[in-house]
Chains A and B, each alone.
Chain A
Amino acid sequence: MNVVYILLPVALLIAVGYLILFIISVRKGQYDDTTTPAVRMLFDDDEKKKQDDSEQE
Chain B
Amino acid sequence: MECTHCGLPVPAALVEPEADEQFCCNGCRTVYRVIQGYGLDRFYDLKDVSDARQAARTTDRQYREYDDPKFSELYVRPAGSGLRSVELYLEGVHCAACVWLVEKTPVLLEGVHEVRLDLGKSMARVTWDPARVNLSAVARSLDSLGYPAHPFRGVRVRDMRRKEDRALLIRIGVAGFCAGNIMLISFALYGGMFHGISDEFRNLFHWASLTISLPAVLWCAGLFYRSAWGAVRARTTHMDIPISLGILTGFLWGVFSTVTGRGEVYYDSVTLLIFLLLAGRWVQRNQQRRAADASELLYSLAPTSARLVVDGQVHESPLEAVLPGATVEVRAGDSVPVDGVVLEGNSSLNVALLSGESRPVEVQRSDRVFAGTENLASRLLVEVTGTGEDTRVGRLMKLVEEAGRRKAPVIRLADRISGWFVSTVLLLAAGTALVWWWIDPGLAVEHAVALLVVTCPCALGLATPLAVSAAIGKAARLGILIKGGDVLERLARPGRIVLDKTGTLTEGKSRLVQWIGDETVRADLAALERHSAHPVARAFVEGVEPSEEQPNAILEDARGGGIRGTVDGRHVVAGSPGYMRSRNASFPAWAEAALQEVTTAGLTPVLVSRGEEVLALAGIGDPVRQDSRSTLRRIGEAGWQVEVLSGDYPAVVHAVAADLGIDPARAHGGRQPEEKLDYIISAVAADEHAVVMVGDGINDAAALSAASVGVGVHGGAEAALSAADVFLTREGLSPVAELLDGARRTFKVIRLNLIFSLLYNLIGAVLAIAGRIDPLAAAILMPVSSLTVITLSYRANTFRRSRNR
Contacts and interface: CB of A to CB of B under 8 A. Distances in A.
Given A36-B120, A40-B99, A12 B212 contact: yes
Nearest to A18: B177
Nearest to A5: B204
Nearest to A35: B120
Interface stretch (B163-171, B710-718, B773-781, B787-795): B163-171
A29 B165 CA distance: 10
Contacts of A29: 162, 166
B71 interface: no
A15 B177 contact: yes
Interface string B84-121: 00000000000010011001000000000000111111
Interface in B173-196: 173-174, 177, 180-181, 184-185
A33 B87 CA distance: 14
A43 B174 contact: no
B133 interface: no
Contacts of A12: 181, 208, 212
A33 B120 contact: yes
Nearest to B215: A19
Contacts of A23: 170, 173-174
Contact of B99 (A26, A27, A31, A39): A39
Contacts of A22: 170, 173
Contacts of B116: 36
B762 interface: no
B46 interface: yes
Nearest to A1: B201
A4 interface: yes
Given A12-B212, A26-B166, A32-B165, A19 B99 contact: no
Contacts of B117: 36
A19 B173 contact: yes
B87 to A, nearest CB: 12
Interface in A1-57: 1, 4-5, 8, 11-12, 15-16, 18-19, 22-23, 26-27, 29, 31-36, 39-40, 42-43
A5 to B, nearest CB: 8
A39 B103 CA distance: 12
Given A1-B201, A4-B201, A33-B120, A39 B96 contact: yes
A12 B212 CA distance: 9
Contacts of A26: 166, 169-170, 173
Interface string B349-382: 0000000000000000000000000000000000
B174 A19 contact: yes
A8 B211 CA distance: 12
Contact of A33 (B118, B173, B212): B118
A11 B184 CA distance: 10
A36 B177 contact: no
Interface in B21-44: none
Interface string B578-602: 0000000000000000000000000
Nearest to B103: A40
Contacts of A32: 162, 165-166
A18 B170 CA distance: 13
Contacts of B181: 11-12, 15
B170 A39 contact: no
A36 B102 CA distance: 12
A35 B119 contact: yes
A42 B99 CA distance: 11
B166 A31 contact: yes
A1 B173 CA distance: 31
Nearest to B46: A43
26 contacts: A1-B198, A4-B204, A11-B184, A12-B181, A19-B173, A19-B174, A22-B173, A27-B166, A29-B166, A31-B165, A32-B162, A32-B166, A33-B119, A33-B120, A35-B118, A35-B119, A35-B120, A36-B99, A36-B116, A36-B119, A36-B120, A39-B96, A39-B119, A42-B96, A43-B46, A43-B100
Interface of B: 46, 96, 99-100, 103, 116-121, 162, 165-166, 169-170, 173-174, 177, 180-181, 184-185, 198, 201, 204, 208, 212
Q: State the 6 A-B residue pairs at the shortest beta-carbon distance, nearest first.
A: A39-B96, A36-B119, A35-B120, A33-B118, A19-B177, A22-B173
Given A1-B201, A31-B166, A36-B119, 15 more contacts: A8-B208, A15-B181, A18-B177, A22-B173, A23-B173, A26-B170, A26-B173, A27-B166, A31-B165, A32-B165, A32-B166, A36-B116, A36-B117, A39-B96, A43-B99
